Chains A and B, each alone.
Chain A
Amino acid sequence: MINLTANIAGVHFKNPVVMASGTFGFGREYGKLYDVSMLGGISGKGLTLHAKPGNPGVRVYETASGMLNSVGLENPGVEAFLSKELPYWETLDTARIVNLGGNTLPDYVLGAELIQQDDDARRLAGKRAVDMIELNISCPNVKEGGIAFGVKTPAAREVVRAVRAATRLPLAVKLSPNAEDIAEMAEMCEAEGADAVSLINTISGMKIDVRRRRSVFHNLYAGLSGPAIKPVALRMVHQVAKRVSIPVIGMGGITSATDIIEFIMAGAAVIQVGTYNFMNLRAGSTLVEELQQFMIEEHISSLDEIRGII
């Protein structure tokens, strides 16, 4: 019997395959294609306190083995999520992670407080729909907030500390590969009471339209994801996992069971799948099946056997 489970701060993951924020909506759309309750977890579309329309102009551009995106955190806002999307999440049997972004420090705090208040009310009613908050201090596609908080450790510390104080829910902090020192950033998160760190977010990149002589993107830069960034992500997960004792949620260009195994060997507790959802609309189901098959072939009975062995 193969054991695919993991546990982060008391949150049970039936397998390590978690869908990454921004690539999976809130799960409804993919839920029409396969049973998303088979997944280890879902990190929902990044939320800000108030709804955001996102960025104008071109929002996606393919690169060699990767993809640049400049969606700019288009989202319905925390309150609309709580009233319209959470009832759907309640129907799912998978770990439910709210990805929380923000433009300003008070936005992050108010967002976290709203989620906590909602969670308190649900617990009183005997329900629980949010399992974890994933604090996004690393979105490269918003002009204010986002990555501005995620590059320098002192700025990030302020956000993590304030949000930690605002919620009792398990807290993961999503780190940017553009951070000055990602391992130092992760240590700070641990010191400030984060329950996990997740990495990496997209890498800031650019595409120039040489005929029109300008950047393809309205905001000049965009976030690079996909297989192109996997080696960088793997290295950073390895570095961070050696430096912190809290669990690491690893992501970046995963498209196969062997990619998952690499991240687990580098020290990840669970992994997230992002761009691959666009390459294969049934990515989650494909990966869980492939992972089980690989573990049978390699006589691995539990991911604990190989976690962090490198």
Chain B
Amino acid sequence: MATVISNERLTDGVYHLQVEGEYGGAMGQFYMLRAWGAYPLLSRPLSIHQVTDRGVDFLYHVVGEGTEIFAGLTPGDSIELEGPFGNGFPEVEGRIALVGGGIGIAPLYYCAQKLPGSDIYLGFSREAFRTEAFGPLAGELNINVGGLVLDSVDFTAYDHIFVCGPHPMLKAAQLKAMAAEQEGRGPQVYLSLENRMACGIGACLVCSVSCRDGQRKACADGPVFLSREVIFHD
């Protein structure tokens, strides 16, 4: 059991949760969280937003029953954490872009801390949030509200690009990566997938991802995959 330090509403439906305790983890890894008893049955996977001296932070968007319960947490409340799980983003060097869409910016803040000076692209459908925190860490900071943030990213200009966001954005990033590769200037593009999970540790096979080399698990083999490995079905 861990204790909630704060649970701040950033904008409509988006919260910044801080949990106290000795928690670690790598960029792009996640924890399974639950703040209830038996129901909802499943814990919720949330990626690490940052690790601090006091504990670990998460950003989440209220989308269902579990995250609604999270939204009601107040300082001092108890919460269960299991993790960190999954394989995250690699420690890389060179010209780096971090590209986040909506709540997909959550893991990129920890990346920005670990890889200061990276160019950061943040896209939001209606209202930007948490952008002020990214500014001091960014080489160049690009914020897009209401458009397509990927349109601003020149895939031929980077060695490594980390992308986290909604499914269509990840597919679009894969296409841009392929186009850049055909020009002979392809960066290594890493996508963080947000699949439904049950166990979070690789046992249930609920979060299977179709990859070039067969079925893999978003929770244990990912959630971060090289874009060229993933096969998008829809």
Contacts and interface: CB of A to CB of B under 8 A. Distances in A.
B203 A23 contact: yes
A32 B201 CA distance: 10
Contact of A62 (B42, B199, B200): B42
Interface residues of A, number: 31
Interface stretch (A109-117, A122-130, A273-281, A284-292): A273-281
Interface in B190-234: 196-208, 210, 214-215, 220, 233
Contact of A54 (B32, B198, B205, B233): B205
Nearest to B219: A29
Contacts of A22: 204
Interface in B2-16: none
B203 A279 contact: no
Contacts of A262: none
Contacts of A32: 201
B82 to A, nearest CB: 6
A279 B41 contact: yes
Interface string A49-60: 000011010111
A74 B199 CA distance: 15
B42 A67 contact: yes
A25 B203 contact: yes
Interface in B50-68: 65
A226 interface: yes
Interface in A27-79: 29-30, 32-33, 45, 53-54, 56, 58-60, 62, 64-67, 69, 71, 74
Contacts of A53: 208, 210, 214-215
Given A59-B196, A62-B42, A74-B215, A278 B205 contact: no
A25 B202 contact: yes
Given A29-B220, A56-B233, A60-B196, A71 B206 contact: yes
A25 B197 CA distance: 14
A163 B192 CA distance: 44
A56 to B, nearest CB: 6
B136 interface: no
A25 B201 CA distance: 10
Contact of B206 (A24, A30, A59, A65): A59
22 contacts: A23-B203, A23-B204, A25-B203, A32-B201, A45-B205, A53-B208, A54-B205, A54-B208, A56-B233, A59-B196, A60-B42, A60-B197, A60-B198, A62-B40, A62-B65, A67-B42, A71-B205, A226-B41, A227-B41, A278-B41, A279-B43, A281-B201
